[in-house]
Structure 1
Amino acid sequence: MIKEQVWHQLRDALSRCGDELKLESTDDGLAQLALERPRQLHFGDFAVNVSPLARFAKLPPPKIAEIVCESVKTSAPLLEPSLAGGFVNFKVDTQTLLDGVLRLLQAPALGQNTVMAEDCILLEYVSANPTGPLHIGHGRWMALGNSLARLMKHCGATVWQEFYVNDYGSQMNNIANSVWYRCLQQCDASIPFPEKTEDQPYPFYPGEY
């Protein structure tokens, strides 16, 4: 919707400055332009390269951009356009964008479909091993996995989620043995922690955690 408003503003601007730019018609001028997203956010939300109009106006692109920019009469939710070389940049009012996000959040059925209605999916994500420190990667994959599951459900799929916490097996035995020895050392500091040998299994974690 906002993109159409930008096009509408451009059409009105070209209709006002068409004679100065020597355009045969507003539609001819508009057909030469493309609305794009700036590579750098500080330029705005939308940008129009007016260089293609140079073949009509016989003017340098920055001058054409200035003429077009002065001809634009913006209205909400668009702010006043700005210039950057041969580009006219448009910025959308931040509050309008926030209001749009709020409307999306209040419409849970938005985008809901049945393209995956026949799919049954078992989604496994995150294997948080409590025998070592948790790190940002565990949280990242938890968020990504849960989001992916929600998206697939929104598309009609039947989804089972498995979030693994490895709380069994040899690693848990090792940390249990280590914790036991550390507890003994709290009672008697002379009790040594078992040392690792090359020819024997070492069922302990000698680290600080």
Structure 2
Amino acid sequence: MRKTIICLSLNLLTISSFAQTAVLKETFDDNRNGWLDKPYRDTSINASIAGGVLQIANNNKDSNWSYTIRQKIDEQKDFEIQLRFMIKEGTNKTRSYGSLYWGGDDSQANTWVLFSQRRIKVKNCLGGDHKSDQIFQKNNSPSLKKGVFYQLVIRKQDKIYKVLLDGSLLFELPFQSFKGDNISFAAGKFTTVAFDDLKIFYSNSK
């Protein structure tokens, strides 16, 4: 009986591990993955890794700058991206405070999530003149608070993305085939945002 229980336990462990195969686990204990290897040359935008978070402070009145690594995600599989973020400073409640980009290349063709206190927006960004970009958005109710961590989840199932905030489904949008392997973070103008616990994993055996 004991051997049977051990075998069953091992089988369950194998199934659980197989169902959620880790692609990336980033706890921002250091810069081992290279987020800060290409810093913005203008000191009005800077990023740091300390205390287990990646913090980006943008004091540039004209633009932002993304901090990027390359991480291959197999788009034929279903996957999930999880992220915790905190708005620390910001002057406009509707303008983008922070953003996460994935599946893109250096031509700005990405899928990306932007968040402010009042709104979550997602773009299937196709690059070029951006006339074919697809935009989905929803207002936060209640508005997000500064100084509080929130959990963002992007779940890809078949040809659909589901976007969740703190476990609540915000909306669905069509999956867009990847143009590249970039994963990036950015902060909007006159904002400071902290990012934590970035996790990417395959959610089934496809």
Same fold (TM over 0.5): no
TM-score (structure 2 length as normaliser): 0.21
Structure of greater Rg: 1
**TM-score normalised by structure 1 residue count:** 0.21
Higher relative contact order (CA 8 A, sep 6+): 2
Question: Greater share of strand residues, 1 or 2?
Answer: 2
